[in-house]
Amino acid sequence: MKFEAQPHPVIRCGASGIHTGLTECAASGREPVAPMFSPTVKLESAAMTASTPVLHQASIPVFKQMLGGLADVLSKAEAHATARNIDPQVFLQSRLFPDMFALLRQVQIACDFAKGVSARLAGAEVPSVADEEKSFAELQARIQATLAFIDGLPAEAFAEAASREVVLRPGTPKERRFAGQAYLLSYGLPQFFFHVTTAYAILRHNGVELGKKDYMGAF
- DSSP assignments along 16-58, one per residue: S-EESSHHHHHHHTPPB---S--PPEEEE-TT--TTS-HHHHT
Residue 24 CA to residue 38 CA, distance in Å, equals 19
In terms of residues, how long is the chain?
Answer: 219
Task: Quote the pLDDT of residue 49.
Answer: 60
pLDDT in tens, the chain (219 residues): 443 444 444 434 444 444 444 444 545 555 554 444 444 434 444 455 656 799 999 999 999 999 999 999 999 999 999 999 999 999 999 999 999 999 999 999 999 999 999 999 999 999 999 999 999 999 999 999 999 999 999 999 999 999 999 999 999 999 999 999 999 999 999 999 999 999 999 999 999 999 999 999 998
Residue 128 CA to residue 116 CA, distance in Å, equals 9
Residue 41 CA to residue 5 CA, distance in Å, equals 5
Residue 143 CA to residue 69 CA, distance in Å, equals 10
Its pTM stands at 0.77
Q: 51: Cβ–Cβ under 8 A, 6 or more apart, which residues?
A: none
